[in-house]
Structure 1
Amino acid sequence: MAEPEPERDAEDPAGADLFSPDADEPPTCSSLTTKELQQNLREVKKRERPVRLLFEIPSTRIIEHSLSKYVVYQVVVMRSGSFDSHRVSVERRYSDFSRFHHQLLEEFNEELEEVVLPRKLLTGNFCPEIISERRLALQDYLAKLYAARCVRHSPHFPKFFTEQEQKRAHGLLRAGQFGPAVEQLRTILEIEEKLLPWQKPTLTVPTLSALAVCHRDLEEPEQAFVAAQRALPPVRRYGLKHHRAALLELLVDLGYQLGRPVAQLQEELSVLRDAERGKVSLRSLKELVVQDFL
């Protein structure tokens, strides 16, 4: 399959420098020779680094239970270039890959004609040579999926890398185990942030909301405030009114606790509720978070 034109991160700082009011004023085109224009173009292209997702499956392990035995693959997700210095990983079984593949085929059968999932084996699944061979094949499979624009923009794509961890985190949250839940949620957030150039900007809102709830209940108001504050801009922009009201309410409460100015947040919350005339849910952020994975 032909490699598509690389997409660029909308928040790429390299491009931002070109439009910064603090940058040196560039010479006008009329004052430059053709050679100088070509040199400037080359310099601009050097600063515009394409962003890609890279997938690596560096290791595997065999899980044995009384009635089952299977291989899990460590899947590392990272961005290319200098944009990503941190590798984050999840573990997936072959059955997870198979389920994911069939979900994609239901929606993108024609587009994935040439993308083949490594076949299921009836014997030899635990042979080290077979495991190593399959590990590399699954790594190549993920790269080919990402190369298909329809797949990397599909909601199925982030779900494959985060859904299991989300369910685990929300189970821990509902059980009141906020510390372990935070660890799971941080992993989810890191993966979601890597996927943001190809996914909706609201992708991280549920995770940031859950982190805010956990930190608040762990009596860590500063971390809770930061998480809720990060969730608010995409919520405002894309009109998620229920989350907006709940986030604003939490931020006001935490702001008072931390001694932060909250007058503008209070006013925004009042205007939102008045404008909606009772249509906005009065549920707390915790109630919204808990409901996400019921």
Structure 2
Amino acid sequence: MAELNQDPVDPAETAGEHLSGSSLTTKELQQNLKLMKRGHRLVRVLFEIPSSRIVQQPLSKHVVYQVMVMRSGSFDSHRVWVERRYSDFFSFHHKLQEEFQEELEDVLLPRKLLTGNFSPENISERRLALQDYLAQLFSTHCVRHSPQFPAFFTEPELKRAHVLLRAGQFREALELLQTVLEIQEKLLPWQKSTLTVPTLSALAVCYRDLDEPEQAFGSAHKALPAVRRYGPRSYRAALLELLVDLGYQLRRPVAQLQDELTGLRDAERGEVSFRSLKEEVIQQFT
């Protein structure tokens, strides 16, 4: 298992923010800092590839690796996993090198094997090497903060989920979207706050069409704060519209949400094409 302590808030910086300009003595500041450090648990992201399997197809076969992501420390220890082939790692590495060639000079992807790809020894060795590779990537600041990093863990599942969603197979789409959301939330300390907005919106659409208004309202409400602060604007109106509609259905207080939606539409009339949340979600991967 690869374990890393990374970017989240330094207690010293936090102490400085809260205590600067105060009348505390140096000794008191030091004591407060010690207390803060004692109660502070570093966030750790762990990558593990615990298993693999051989997939036999009519004309070919390949190995898929189970890739687990876990965030521990002051957050959670729940593991979530996806499956990736070596070719997925290879494509990912090539994209990263195009953007971060100098920074990744010492980060090596395990090489392709010309023979023995399916021997248990080689599979086990490659599994551990790929696990170490992910840890090295994440220890590289520019990669850790690149949108390509979470995309490696989520993009295939997101695309399949949206195919299912467009086909009306909402229950099947939900399972994939929940996996995507869990991974995105584990990576959020190093990614933009809007990373989960499309996923939460897709979940809200699925729950709405499955006639599960409580879950739909919860997903949309969870996405709204990041959209309010950072955008995109088109999602904000669509989320508000869904929340108002569901709020009336659930007998929730929605006057404030309705006022916000009305004000948004008045302010942006003619500038923004207002679509429903379902239209926004489907547009994401069209």
- Which consecutive unaligned segments of at least 5 residues does structure 1 have? 20-26
Q: 1:195 aligns with which of 181, 187, 193?
A: 187
For residue 218 of structure 1, what is the amino acid of its counterpart?
L
**1:212-291, aligned counterparts within 5 Å?**
212-291=204-283
Alpha-carbon distance in structure 1 between the residues aligned to 2:95 and 2:282: 26
Pair 1:169 & 2:161 matched = yes
Structure 1 pair 160/4, CA: closer, same or farther in 2 (3 Å)? closer
1:24 paired residue number: none
Letter paired with 1:8:
P
Counterpart amino acid of residue 213 in structure 2: P
Who is 1:6 aligned against? 6
User: Alpha carbons of 1:170 and 1:271: their partners in 2 closer, same or farther (altered >3 Å)?
Assistant: same
In structure 1, C-alpha distance between the alignment counterparts of 2:30 and 2:266, rounded to whole Å: 57
Partners of 1:285 and 1:108 in 2: how far apart? 35
Residue in 2 that maps onto 1:61: 53
Map of 2:79 onto structure 1:
87
Is the 1:72–1:93 Cα contact (8 Å) retained in structure 2?
A: yes
Root mean square deviation, CA, Å: 2.3
Deviation at 1:4, TM superposition (A): 9.8
Q: 3-state SS of the aligned residue for 1:55?
A: strand
Query: Percent identity, aligned pairs only?
Result: 71
Q: Tell whether the 8 Å contact from 2:202 to 2:281 is kept in structure 1 after alignment.
A: yes
Change over 3 Å in CA distance of 1:272–1:217 after alignment to 2: same
Q: Which residue of structure 2 aligns with residue 99 of structure 1?
A: 91
State the 1:83 CA deviation: 1.6
Which shifted more, 244-253 or 39-48?
Answer: 39-48
> For structure 2, which runs of at least 5 residues remain unmatched after alignment?
none
The answer to whether the 8 A contact 2:4-2:135 is kept is: no
Instruction: Check conservation: 1:212, 1:224, Cα contact below 8 A.
Output: yes
Following the alignment from structure 2 to structure 1, what is the Cα–Cα distance between the partners of residues 67 and 6? 22
Partner of residue 122, structure 2:
130
Query: How many Å apart are 1:283 and its aligned residue?
Result: 1.2
TM-score using structure 1 length? 0.89
Structure 1 stretch 199-208 or stretch 40-49: which is displaced more?
Answer: 40-49
Q: Does 1:29 align with 2:24?
A: yes
Aligned length: 278
* Partner AA of 2:262 in structure 1: S
Number of the residue aligned with 2:196: 204
- SS at 1:29 equivalent: coil
CA contact (8 A) 1:179 1:214 kept: yes
